Amino acid sequence: MSSAPDTDSRPSPDRAPVLALPDLCLVVLVGISGSGKSTFARTHFRPTQVLSSDVCRGLVADDENDQAATPAAFALLHHIAATRLRRGRLTVVDATNVKKEDRATLVQLARDHDVLPVAVVLDVPESVAMARNADRTDRDLPAGVLRRQRADLRRGLRGLSREGFRKVHVLDGVEQVLAATITYERQYNDRRDDRGPFDVVGDVHGCRAELEALLVELGYTLARDEHARPVDAVHPQGRRALFLGDLVDRGPDSPGVLRLVMGMVAAGHALAVPGNHENKLVRALRGRNVRVSHGLETTLAQLQGETPEFRRQVEDFCYGLVSHYVLDDGKLVVAHAGLKESLQGRASARVRDFALYGETTGETDEFGLPVRYPWADEYRGRATVLYGHTPVPTPEWVNGTLCLDTGCVFGGRLTALRYPERTLVSVPAARTYYAPARPFLPGDGPGSAAPPQQAAQKRDAQVLDIDDVLGKRVVETRYGGRVTVREENAAAAIEVMSRFALPPAQLLYLPPTMSPSATTAVPGLLEHPAEAFAHYRAEGVAHVVCQEKHMGSRAVALVRRSDLSGDDSRPPEQRGAVHSRTGRAFFADRALTGAFLARLARAVETAGLFDELDTDWLLLDAELLPWSAKAGELVRSQYAAVGAAARAAVPAAVAVLEQAAARGLDVSGQLELQRARAADALAFTQAYRRYCWPTDGLDGLALAPFQVLACEGRTFSDRDHAWHLAVGDRLADADPGLVRRTEHRAVDVTDPADEAAATAWWTALTEAGGEGMVVKPAANLVRGRKGLVQPGLKVRGREYLRIVYGPDYTRPEHLERLRERHLGRKRGLALREYALGLEALERAAAGEPLWRVHECVFAVLALESEPVDPRL
Amino acid sequence: MLLTITTTHVPATDLGFLLHKNPARAQSTSVSVGTAHVLYPEATESRCTAALLLEVDPIALVRGRSGTRGGSGPEAFTLGQYVNDRPYAASSLLAVALGRVFASARRGTSKERPELAGTPIPLEVALPALSCRGGAAMVERFFAPLGWSVDAAPVPLDDAADWGDSRYVRVRLTGTLRVADALNHLYVALPVLDDSKHYWVSPEEVDKLLRAGAGWLADHPDRELITRRYLAHKGALARQAMARLAEVDDSDPDALDDATAPARTAAPAPGEDDLEVPDRPVPLALLRHGAVLAALRSAGARRVVDLGCGSGALLPALLAEPAFTEVVGVDVSARALEEAARRLRLDRMPERRRERLRLLQGSLTYADRRLAGYDAAVLMEVVEHLDPDRLPALEHAVFAVARPATVIVTTPNVEHNVRYADLAAGVLRHRDHRFEWTRREFASWVQRVASASGYDVRLLPVGVDDPEVGPPTSMAVFTRSSADDGSTPSGVTRGDVA
């Protein structure tokens, strides 16, 4: 916790100077014109690290010496520097910086980005600089300028460290400038090469007995001194404890806790970060003026019983603690009060303040305590953050962060998290040592059953940020790499998501689009099974399954065991859901949704799936029939209307042409055409009618589940489709009235007989008016040469396609033109959406933060607004 | 699509001279949308019928519209572009063909029968499937004032299902008129009655309308409606990705396209909305604006966010007042914001005024820190557009994250709906309203939100406060409790509490 700047380093003249720099810092070069700053920068830094005021002047004015452009040049320089620092890049400012106010701006810039400012002064005699400037043809500096610069530099030199520079290196004379070398120092908080395993312990607050118990519970063996006081603890597997601060105050034996922890840290058996209580203790021990309250009085009294030497050790230990640590390749961050992403691995007073105190809103609650800003709700970093500071009844993950302060000193528990296992271990407090200002445990304090703060926080974790979805986004998927969502697609999707979709907590998945098989050359058809089989054969997939395509509407059903009760008063995140491809509630009627889910949950229960999969929820991919249940309005306004117009207009035209023909006019071509169109119009009407029937409540509805998507803790893309279909069959057996089986055929695409049989099956299916079938790799998720293989290809029937391509599409002259269709875009989209869908499922099953799931779900919706031929 | 014109004028075959088409043979003409055939199913002394049969190529129609194969504009990517009634129903496409094929006849000239061309003769016009928004009654409204006797019957959607009537009407018009007038009536009637988005409009349309309407349009009682519909779809609507999303979901694209749809109660009665002058003031909306402005002034707000600004109904009023130094309009619909920009003439707004306004796409179901730090937020007729399940997210976004000093919420008072004669019982005022609250329901929501988030609140009526059913609109003005300076978290309070 050393915060004082290092002293000026002015190397002795006879040694080559070695300049130590933090590996992330803002290096401010200071020196008069011609002192060799640019050469120095070129020698020691990468060109991209160096921002030169001359270059910037050139960039904004096409003339590096245009002094009138100086303000604009520095505005540019500061902008680039700020951007680099925000992104964590070491940056060197090559400008004279001889004036205090110029340096002050740069110090502030460094502080704003929580990096350390370092000054490197190149102090060369004026004569040298003058000679160098004279050699330059591009610059003509009046002699007075150099003299003024030199005077400014001299004036400022002694006060540099007081200006806020963390390190000041002065290179005295040309020799030293030339001889200087640079070494980089790792920041104190950088322990990325330390990968644990750790046992991360929350606020101890002087509860020595509980700490001993916890360490024993964690498997440590305690070592004791001659007074039987614990002074170390060793884990047989070499695990180390990681203390989150607030070791002291309020509890019965703060010195005892310190003795143990200090011993462990000294022996390399533990790491510790400071809490606000250690911070205050240091100041008190150093005789600073602090208010002795909040349990500090207890610690100070207890320390009176210790030796002065021990007190000094405590002072040194607490003073030396580093505000936070970044561990395990950057995957773990520990800080007493947590740390938001932009401050992780940075160094500044602000970082320290956040790590010690967290962020407060400036408000106070009903108990007079500062209201903390819920930084964790907004946390979107990839590092797990473990912290304490604010007691919670039970630790709960919020966006990958976990508070481990379970209020031991207030009568709660002392808790540790095993990392990387992420399992919790805790021991109860022997008693309440200190009364909390705010009721902390249920039943504590004046008439509060549950801590309001906690209830609020819980809900807030369901709240998503606009930045989670808006703008161009890139989603990392484990199966399909990086998937990009364009800004305009996100803009279209946000409206649908906000106005029509279910609450995000109920929307764990959206199904990907599916490509049709390649266009067939078979006369009279656009699609035929042979192309689908050929596709998978070419991908090296031997076994496929052909699944009957139910002509309903795609439905994703999130079934919760609690849906069995049909209780309508549960909050959305506890209710199941049945939704469409764009995340809208399938039924507008909430009561119908409840009844549907209750019945489906019963089927899942009856089939024994909740128990078998050891889960309280199940996500099913399905088709919900009839089509008209969801698409009724569309059928009427679009399809039935076309049929009505055709059936009214075409026969009238036939009649007119027949009359004309009877008069002897030659209209035979027209007549034939119109007669054919009359037949097509009728066929079109027949085509959609098959998929429409009236429903009343649940009566007439049927769900055909064909895939189990996810449940608690697992996904099922590795189970073959035979397993998925068998689950569907079991559900159909459990409730034949509601659940419909999916007919299917297994095909070996290297066996012509198999193919012929499946083709005959498809032909029979579609000739009877069926929509068609979907061909999928039997093994489910399959990778090919170029990544994921299409999860399925649809092969639609001739009559069904009238709905898609129009009543007359089967006429040869139309069909020939329609064959020119391009599947590339659709296929690409299908794979990207597939990867996103799988990612959403993995994240949901693993219980990742809601925004991580929503990011994928939203991306699927956004991609669906991509312009692609909708007939595919 | 088909149109027949019959006369019983003797000799009836003179119709051929009037139409400039020989009854003795069938003729085909290539027109932009397909092929037009003119043929005479009967041609006797006493009765002669000319038929115009337009053969539309549906595939070419799509491809032709967007210029390239498969289409390139966003319009090309909805199924409705491929499967539609255009090849069958009499619509603007037929008007195009009619205009082209009977161009000379429409001018009322005939070399062979110059006198007859200027004489009213008994005519009968038949359209087996006329696309008509407003149904048979609208056909009657259009043609009856022009001297036609109208026989119009709706075509059922599907005989096999109980789905009612389609938008198509089987029409038979009889009357004694000049042929040229009959053709011009039809030329204007087809697009006007169709009133469809699939429309062809070029800059000369105004001239075309005036030419075709010469001598009758000026006196037509519905001239305003006719003119408006005829020219309404200028610059065919750029249907956006939204439409495609609707189809993915098996929904009617129009159902999603209601971001700027008028309220049901904005018009006197359904079906008669056509009669309304478009910019007729809607008193309740103005009352609401007034009440919101009064509350903003009373709060002394200077920087104001209009959350759910839609196409910007309130924004001009806010901008008109220099006291509002910064005005931010936020809506979830990019289309609504474009519309707002257009209506506010953003591109031509003086710079000083333009600097005070910002339009942002955002959603109230997501926390949005861009909206923090303002003096006041207005949620005018917004909450009722959210599903109740999403309200907690809105409460968090507005009262916890944005957290302005003043929040103004207005929403319909459902009790008042009985006072709208044209609103059927139990029907909400707008088709996108997810709920409408009673005064009591509103008050209880308001109180809960206020106490949970540290605001004081007062309720005000907007519009006449009916003693029985209350005002048409309920309004709540939330004021952040004085103890709370609302500053966004910045400084760290070093309270040793943990």
pLDDT tens digits, B357-385: 999 999 998 999 999 999 999 999 999 99
CB A694 within 8 A of CB A630: no
Dihedral sign of CA atoms A256, A262, A265, A268 in order: negative
Q: Please judge whether B167 and A641 are an interchain contact, meaning their C-beta atoms are less than 8 angstroms apart.
A: yes
Residues of B in contact with A633 (CB under 8 A): 251-252, 255
**Rounded distance between C-alpha atoms, residue A682 and residue A647, angstroms:** 7
> Considering chain A, what is the average pLDDT of its residues?
89
CB contact under 8 A, A659 and B42: yes
Residues of B in contact with A659 (CB under 8 A): 41-42
Query: With contact defined as beta carbons under 8 Å apart, do A728 and A708 qualify?
Result: no
**Span A582-639, pLDDT tens digits:** 999 999 888 899 999 999 999 999 999 999 999 999 999 999 999 988 888 888 888 8
The domain defined by B2-232 folds into c-terminal autoproteolytic domain of nucleoporin nup98 (3.30.1610)
- Using DSSP bridges, classify how beta strands A787-788 and A783-784 pair: parallel, antiparallel or unpaired: antiparallel
Beta bridge partners of A794: A516, A774
Give B168's contacts in chain A (Cβ within 8 Å).
641, 644-645, 648
Name which of B26, B76, B84 is nearest A666 (Cβ-Cβ): B26
> Of A205, A390, A499, A813, which to mutate for an interface test with B (greatest number of B Cβ within 10 Å)?
A499
Extract long-range pairs of A439-442: CB within 8 Å, 24+ residues apart: A440/A391, A440/A393, A440/A407, A440/A410, A440/A412, A441/A393, A441/A407, A441/A410, A441/A411, A441/A412, A442/A393
Q: State the pLDDT at residue B271.
A: 35
A806 touches chain B (CB under 8 A): yes
The reply to whether CATH 3.30.1300.10 applies to domain A551-626+699-741 is: no
**Cβ atoms A633, B24 nearer than 8 A:** no
Cα separations in angstroms, A738 against A207, A697, A711: 59, 12, 21
pLDDT above 90 as % of chain A? 63
Please determine, for residue A151, whether its predicted confidence score (pLDDT) is greater than 90: no
Cβ atoms of A329 and A195 within 8 Å: the answer is yes
- The pLDDT tens digits of the residues spanning A49-78 come to 999 999 999 999 998 888 899 999 999 999
CA distance A761 to A822: 27
How far apart are alpha carbons A365 and A362 in whole angstroms? 10
User: CA A457, A462, A468: angle at the middle one, nearest 5?
Assistant: 120
Taking CB atoms and an 8 Å limit, are A469 and B241 in contact across chains? no
Q: How far is A814 from chain B (nearest CA, A)?
A: 7
* Enclosing H/E stretch for A253: none
Checking if the pLDDT of A784 tops 50, the result is yes
What pLDDT was estimated at residue B421?
80
pLDDT of residue B240: 35
Contact A858, A487 (CB under 8 A): no
Domain boundaries A18-185, CATH class: alpha beta
Contacts of A362 in chain B (CB under 8 A): 485, 487, 489-491, 493
Can you give the pLDDT at residue B79?
63
Mean pLDDT, residues A698-720: 95
What is the predicted pLDDT for the residue at A738?
95
Residue A2 has pLDDT above 60, yes or no: no
pLDDT higher than threshold 90 for residue A358? no
* B64 in A contact zone (CB under 8 Å): no
* Per-residue pLDDT, A869: 82
B129 close to A (CB below 8 A): yes
In this structure, what are the phi and psi dihedrals at residue A508, rounded to the nearest 5 degrees?
-95, -10
Structure tokens at B72: 């390139």
Q: What is this structure's pTM? A: 0.74
**b/e map of B156-184 (b: 16 or more CB within 10 Å)?**
bbbeebebeebbbbbbbbbbebbbbbbbb
| A388 phi/psi in degrees, rounded to 5 | -130, -125
A499: left (phi over 0), alpha (psi -120 to 50) or beta: alpha
In this predicted structure, the answer to whether residue A6 has a pLDDT above a threshold of 70 is no
What residue ranges of chain B have pLDDT lower than 70?
A: 59-81, 197-204, 232-282, 482-498
Helices (H), B362-479: 391-395, 439-453
State the pairing for strand pair B149-156/B376-380: unpaired
Q: Taking the domains of chain B in order of start, what are their residue ranges?
A: 2-232, 283-480
Chain mean position to CA B4: 32
Closest CA to A78 of A93, A62, A99: A93
pLDDT tens across A177-220, in order?
Answer: 999 999 998 988 999 999 989 999 999 999 999 999 999 999 99
Q: Give residues 698 to 757 of A whose Cβ lies within 8 Å of B.
A: none
Decide if A85 contacts A74 (C-beta within 8 A): no
**Bridge partner list, A705:** A622
Helical residues (DSSP H) of A45-125, grouped into ranges: 53-61, 70-86, 100-112
Looking at domain B283-480, which CATH architecture does it have?
Answer: 3-Layer(aba) Sandwich (3.40)
Q: How many helices and strands (H and E) does chain B possess?
A: 17, 15
**Sheet order of strands, A423-428 included:** A270-272, A240-243, A198-201, A413-419, A423-428
CB A547 within 8 A of CB A725: yes
Per-state percent for chain B, helix, strand, coil, to nearest 5 = 40, 25, 40
| Distance of alpha carbon A816 from alpha carbon A810, whole angstroms | 9
Asked whether the bond before A626 is cis by omega within 30 degrees of 0, the reply is yes
Evaluate whether B251 touches A634 at the Cβ level (below 8 Å).
yes
Residues A500-535: tens digit of each pLDDT: 899 998 999 999 999 999 999 999 999 999 999 999
| pLDDT of res. A455 | 37
With a CB-CB cutoff of 8 Å, which residues 661-680 of chain A face chain B?
663, 665-667, 670, 673
What is the structure's pLDDT at B280? Answer: 41
Residues A251, A208 contacting (CB under 8 angstroms) = yes
CB distance B77–A868 less than 8 Å?
yes
Give pLDDT, residue B498.
35
DSSP state of A162: G
pLDDT of residue A245: 94
Contact between B339 and B368 (Cβ < 8 Å): no
Phi, psi of A801 (to 5 degrees): -65, -15
Asked if B490 has any chain A CB less than 8 Å from its own CB, the reply is: yes
Say yes or no for a CB contact (<8 Å) between A370 and B131.
Answer: no
Mean pLDDT score, A239-265: 95
Give the DSSP letter of residue B437: B
Give residue A606's pLDDT.
Answer: 96
Of A25-39, A456-470, A846-860, B375-389, least confident by mean pLDDT is A456-470
Of chain B, the end-to-end C-alpha distance in Å amounts to 81
CATH number belonging to domain A190-437? 3.60.21.10
Supply the pLDDT for residue A1. 46
Quick check: A442 pLDDT over 60? no
| Type of residue numbered B322 | P
Nearest to B123 by CA among B14, B1, B210, B2: B14
CA distances from residue B402 to A209, A361, B232, B327 in whole angstroms, order as listed: 46, 13, 40, 15
Element (H, E) at B378: strand B376-380
Whole-angstrom distance, CA of residue A314 vs CA of residue A263: 11
Query: B497 and chain A: CB distance < 8 Å anywhere?
Result: yes
